[in-house]
Every structure is written in C-alpha cells, then in structure tokens.
C-alpha cells in the first residue's frame, strides 16, 4: 500500500492510513528520504494515528526515517501514537530514542515550525561586536 506524501509549505507529511507490510515500510522510507532531497524540505511529519499496532520493524523504520532525514537537513516528528500502541511499545522495549513525538498533526506542525526557526537562528551569521 502506497502512503501519500504531501507537501505543506516547507514540510512533508506522510499519513499512514492502515497497517503496512515490511516492504511497504521500506518503500515509505526510501520515498520520504528521496523527497526530502528533491523538495529541500526542512521537516517531515509521519502520522501514525490510524495504526493500532507497531512491531519492531515499524518502530525501527520510523527511527531510521528520522535519522536519515536529519542527515539530509530535515527534522522529523512522529505524530498520533495511540495509547495502546505506546503501552505495547514500552512493554516490548521498543523505543523511538532520539526521535521527536507529539500528540497530533497540529502539534507536529507547531513543533517543526519552532525547530526550523531555532535552526535558522543558529545558522544566521553574527555581526561582529565591534569590540577589540
């Protein structure tokens, strides 16, 4: 099943609508990372609200997407992890260490807006202080 990847300003949004096979997840990873480069986006949102289960391969793939996107200059946030999914992940020792997660798409957009503003502020050239 193909996951639609939409562009919203400087962000990409991938909304997973149903359970995906390992091959589908791999395809999503490749498509998202390729599109990060093509579109020169600053952030990626992966919406997993519709998922009622995530296995170890799905969690690892989401973590890989976030780390690969970061290496290409884009922040990633995972949105919509359901309470039962979060509980099962903790029970199974599955983590998204190093990956931002927020409650929903609205919070995901706000998170990425803040992060991209922080990054642009950090990379702006500083004026000399004039002090000798």
**Beta strand 11-15 pairing with 5-8:** antiparallel
* Structure confidence at residue 116 (pLDDT): 85
Cα dist from 115 to 44, 81, 82, 85, 95, whole Å: 12, 21, 24, 26, 22
* Structure confidence at residue 35 (pLDDT): 97
Q: Which pTM value belongs to this model?
A: 0.89
pLDDT (tens digit per residue) in 7-64: 999 999 999 999 999 999 999 999 999 999 999 999 999 999 999 999 999 999 999 9
* Domains with residue ranges and CATH for the chain: 5-123 (3.30.750.24)
pLDDT (tens digit per residue) in 93-123: 999 999 999 999 999 999 999 998 887 666 5
């Amino acid at each position: 099943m193909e996951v639609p990847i939409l562009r919203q300003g400087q962000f990409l949004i991938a909304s997973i609508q149903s359970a995906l096979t390992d091959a589908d997840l791999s395809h999503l990873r490749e498509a998202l990372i390729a599109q990060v480069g093509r579109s020169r986006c600053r952030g990626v949102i992966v919406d997993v609200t519709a998922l009622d289960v995530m296995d170890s391969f799905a969690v690892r793939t989401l973590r890989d997407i976030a780390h690969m996107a970061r290496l290409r200059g884009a922040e990633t946030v995972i949105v919509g992890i359901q309470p039962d999914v979060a509980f099962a992940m903790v029970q199974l020792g599955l983590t998204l260490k190093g990956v931002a997660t927020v409650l929903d798409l609205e919070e995901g957009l706000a998170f990425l807006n803040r992060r991209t503003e922080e990054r642009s502020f950090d990379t702006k050239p500083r004026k000399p202080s004039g002090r000798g």
